[in-house]
Amino acid sequence: MKHGISILLILLLCIASCVAYPMDPGDPAIQASLDYLRDCQKSDGGFGEAGRESSPGTSSWTIMAAVAAGEDPRGWVKNGNSTIDYLRSMNDDILAKGGTVDIARTILTLVAVEEDPRALCGTDYVAELKSRVKPSGQAGDHVFTTIWTIIALASVGEETDASAAWLASQQNADGGFPWTPGAESDPDDTGAALEALAAAGISHDAAAVQNALAYLKGMQQEDGGFHYGGTSATNSASDSWVIQGIVAAGGNPAEWRADKTSVVDHLIGLQNPDGSFRHTTYVTDNPCGMTASAVPALLGKPYPVTPSETLPLSPATPAPHVTTTAPTATPARTPAPAATGTGGGTVTVTDDFGETVTIRGIPQRIVSLAPSNTEILYDLGLEDRIVGITDYCNYPPAAADKPKVGGYSTISIERVLAADPDLVFAALGNTEDVVNRLRSLGMTVVSLNPETINDVLHDIELVGAATGQEEQAAACVKELRARIQAVTEKTEGLTEKPSVAHVIWYDPIWVSGKGTFQDEVITMTGGVNAFGSVEGWSIIGLEEFLTSDPEYILVSSGTGMGEGGYDIVYDYFMNEPRMQQLDAVRNGHVYVIDADIISRGSPRIVDALEEVAGDLHPDLFGTSVPDTTPVAQSPGFGVIALICAFFAVFLIRVKR
């Protein structure tokens, strides 16, 4: 009898773990997701995360998810406003501020709801997107911008052969596709590239397609899922892009297994009881966006999505299999005995979120979950105690040899556990879910969240108190204060202060507004932020930027391609014809600044202060000239990652 029950349980577990694919729109899991997405609709008819306003991006992905499930989102109405009403209301804003991908996504959304993208409120989005395609076929300046341009133009019957050929030429030797020419391959862009190649009519048997599939097979993780790269946790967004890419290439993602778990199983396992999808196993972040991405993937519908689209799966595609150890649940952690370093005792600190944290003994095994935290630890001479850092902790260079525990918002809980730390320094971008999970597993966590330069100094002292390095912290802060004073003594009395813009990205144009480190640096160095009226990091329309005509432009460095990269934002300002009318460009006042030193809450923020002071006032601080030398970047953490980090932090602050 017991033997029979065991067999029955095994059969039930197999059935539960083997999701029928593609899923049916009537499946309870899909219906729960649609109900959740309906709840994301705002009073203006658009969609956005809880506590936030509607956004064109979230609205577009949600509308296409509804269409993929056989719904007519034009009938989704809130406060008398439909989804179409929202799209029309955002027309001018999308045109003024939209980048290449924004225009492409708008076309795909209009096609999905059977609206004419050549005539929305008198706007021809197709012509606008075609104007961004170069003679080589490249659209915009990147691989990802070309991918979405191909998918969008193919959806309206436009010629995409040249762009598809250019895209294929950017495939890396490992078979994957990068976000920009020369960068490392990643599963997300490779999955999207497969969708673009399929939309352009490239055969499933083409070498580019087969090589991309081979790359993805090698990137599947032991839990069946996918991640963007490095040591970050597997996540629903990467799963969705890969699933859609496999389907577009004629494959069946339900057959892509790591041991017994398929990528489809892994994605389904990230669904919450309310129908939404978590970003990672322990993090619910942007659930509306994650859910909107997951629904088309689970329904077997890659982009472009149309109301009548069904894509048959090819049973002839060999089922890839990755031999791994079966995934296991995160083990419960028994709190480790307090470390007993010299001068061991009990210290109680209050972190930047008001949490009172008790630290017993002097920590000997420290994990840092943010680049800024790692820099502080090194500055205090704690490098020998560090047993784990993130993929993005690239300074000082010696940090590269430390074990990695994941990305910034995709921390691997399992890797943190394996490091067996007695103290973890977290940060805002790690998300509250991760911090709470670590604490529930018995870990001592101190979270840092500096918002000003004074906050950075406070956090240096906080880290010193938590680690028994009070004297080193006091000396460090004393030196930094002296350097800050040396700058402000010369700038506080200035009667003429130049207008300055700090630009993070250009397609679309992202600038640093009030409440940012960059804004404070500009102010303290005797400048006036040209966009000090905008909140946080924001998108600015081209015409608005040209009208503001800042006297100085500071641009973030690099592309995320390592030492062989180039300063892509600087090149845009120096080569874009429309920018040549700006005073800063004509006068040689466009300066490259290391993206890391001006964006991290670490001691190097004072380096940024001194550098910007020299750029704006060479007569006071010594001659400065535009620096066009590429700044070394850690792979995967250049401008794009910087934007993502800024945007993630901004949204988290909104939720607070």
* End-to-end Cα, the chain, rounded Å: 55
Q: Could you read off the pLDDT of 430-451 as tens digits, one per residue?
A: 888 899 999 999 999 999 999 9
Q: How many degrees, rounded to 5, is the angle at CA 246 between CA 242 and CA 248?
A: 115
pLDDT at 283: 86
Token pair in block for residue 294: 């997951």
The helix/strand/coil state of 160 is coil
Token pair in block for residue 572: 């845009």
Q: Where in the chain are the domains?
A: 40-309, 346-478, 494-655
Domains 40-309 and 494-655 alike in fold: no
Q: Could you read off the pLDDT of 361-382 as tens digits, one per residue?
A: 999 999 999 999 999 999 999 9
More confident site: 156 or 3: 156
Q: How many degrees, rounded to 5, is the angle at CA 571 between CA 188 and CA 505?
A: 45
519: nearest Cα among 506, 509, 532: 532
Indicate if the pLDDT at residue 560 is higher than 90: no
pLDDT at 408: 85
Domain 346-478, CATH: 3.40.50.1980
What's the one-letter identity of residue 69? Answer: A
Domain covering 40-309: architecture: Alpha/alpha barrel (1.50)
Q: Report the pLDDT averaged over residues 308-320.
A: 43
Q: What is the pTM of this model?
A: 0.82
pLDDT at 388: 97
pLDDT at 5: 41
Q: Say if CB 509 and CB 502 are below 8 A apart.
A: no
Indicate if the pLDDT at residue 652 is higher than 60: no
CA gap 121, 138 in Å, rounded? 28
Q: Could you read off the pLDDT of 219-256 as tens digits, one per residue?
A: 999 999 999 988 899 999 999 999 999 999 999 999 99
pLDDT at 584: 97
pLDDT at 16: 42
* Whole-number average pLDDT of the chain: 87
Topology (CATH level 3) of domain 494-655: Rossmann fold (3.40.50)
